[in-house]
Amino acid sequence: MDEQLALRLLRRIMQWDEDVATQEYAWVRLIAGLKYDGYGDYVAGVRFAESLAGWLAQFEQGDRQTAYHFVKHRLVYFSASEVKRLVVELQPRFVEPMLRRAVAEACNVPAYLAFADLNASAELKRRRRQTLYIGLSDGARIDLLRRANAGTLVNDQIVLATHIDHEKWEDLSSNLATDLAKLGGTGEALFRNVVLIDDFTASGTTFVRKKDNGKWTGKIYKFFTAVAETRKQFLENNKHFPLASDAAMRVHHYISTTQARNAIQARLDAVKADVTGWFPEVTVTEGLLLPPTVTVDKQRDPEIWKLTEKYYDPDIYEQLKVHLSADQKDLKRGYADCALPVVLEHNCPNNSLTLLWAETEGKGGAHPMRALFPRRHRHS
């Protein structure tokens, strides 16, 4: 749809006079060009202005201003350039300081002299190579991470999969041994640090949680069990397994809510108490921590809250309930009732308000929901 036509349609839907329309057109054009037109799941020929018009049309006239105000003032959208900045910061801001501290302790020099001292500098290069980066999903942006750290990291220490097969582990081991020998390393070729990377967490349940049957699951637990099984098989076959038994784990999300941050830390503490042989050290970090006030709240945002109640189709719950916890009875405020107004440029999280991403037909007289940012469902 032509942008001018979309804007005229938007004016008609919102019943703006000429002065208001002129002002709002400027905002829609600006934000669409800067951010929202880049949303990955917009189909060809459909961008933000026409999506906004169609989305607002589903509301009654008296509710449209509330919905528009929500998009203009409460929506939190992460563009590709903003996410890229968080990817680029991972190595220098979070990993490198950790390695310098470890080297300083091992070489008995101040951390700020890690580059100046010859022994410490050489050890830092070895420790850097002994760090394994694992992407937990395509949101880990492994391609960006590689490009941002060309010359610092090598491809053989960056992997996109928590379940690494035997052949891959053998390749990682062989290449690590070769590189460490060039760097003057002695002893076994072992990864001393592992960085588990994902793009976004809102509730922490995908990363680690206890199921209704009392068993643990989630991405880090699956990685733990896969490593334990593979290590056992390597030892049985008298092969060298390249991950140190005391390797330090760093869990890093580019973006995290405060709710998820606290939940992950609490669950990791519980796993360590429950599971024999659990990782001795797990550090949780995030590139950007969203404050608790980012969520839509019934007291803080009463009008938006009313929209989530009024314009809801229970069929969206029926479509996705197999992926929900037993204690969640509806999807009015998204997965785990996180009530987020968050959108990432490549997908809208299911923890965000369902009004933003749900699409239903409105069976049985229910309200047919129309998405502003259509979501691509992925489950792991």
Torsion of CA 37, 38, 42, 44, to 10 degrees: 80
Q: Report the chain's mean pLDDT, rounded to a whole number.
A: 93
pLDDT of residue 236: 95
pLDDT at 327: 83
- What is the pLDDT at residue 167? 93
Tokens of 211: 């199921």
Q: State the average pLDDT over residues 68-83.
A: 97
Task: State the amino acid at position 18 in one-letter form.
Answer: E
Cβ distance 244 to 191 under 8 Å? yes
CA distance linking residue 300 with residue 305, whole number of Å: 9
Q: Is the pLDDT of residue 380 over 50?
A: no
Per residue, the 3-state secondary structure of 37-73, as one string, reads HHCCCCCCCCCHHHHHHHHHHCCCHHHHHHHHHHHHH
Quote the percentage of the chain above a pLDDT of 90: 85
* Residue 166: CA count within 13 A, CB half-sphere: 10
Please compute the mean of the pLDDT values over residues 63-77 and round it to a whole number.
97
pTM of the model: 0.93
Distance between terminal CA atoms of the chain?
36
pLDDT for the residue 378: 62
Task: Report the C-alpha gap between 280 and 120 in whole angstroms.
Answer: 25
pLDDT tens, position by position, 283-296 = 999 999 999 999 99
More confident residue, 122 or 186: 122
* pLDDT at position 326: 76
Alpha helices, H only, the chain = 3-14, 18-34, 48-57, 61-73, 80-89, 96-107, 118-129, 142-148, 166-182, 219-236, 258-274, 302-310, 315-320, 354-357
The residues that bridge with 193 in the sheet, in sequence order, are 131, 248
pLDDT digits (tens, 9 = 90+) for 322-364: 888 878 899 999 999 999 999 999 999 999 999 999 999 999 8
Beta bridge partners of 132: 194
Q: Is the pLDDT of residue 136 over 60?
A: yes
- Residue positions counted in the chain: 380
243-299 pLDDT, tens digit per residue, is 999 999 999 999 999 999 999 999 999 999 999 999 999 999 999 999 999 999 999
Q: Higher-confidence residue: 379 or 349?
A: 349
| Statement: residue 180 has pLDDT above 60 | yes
Segment 77-112, tens digit of pLDDT = 999 999 999 999 999 999 999 999 999 999 999 988
For the segment 174-192, the average pLDDT, to the nearest whole number, is 92
Residue bearing tokens 């490549």: 346
Determine contact, residues 361/350, Cβ cutoff 8 Å. no
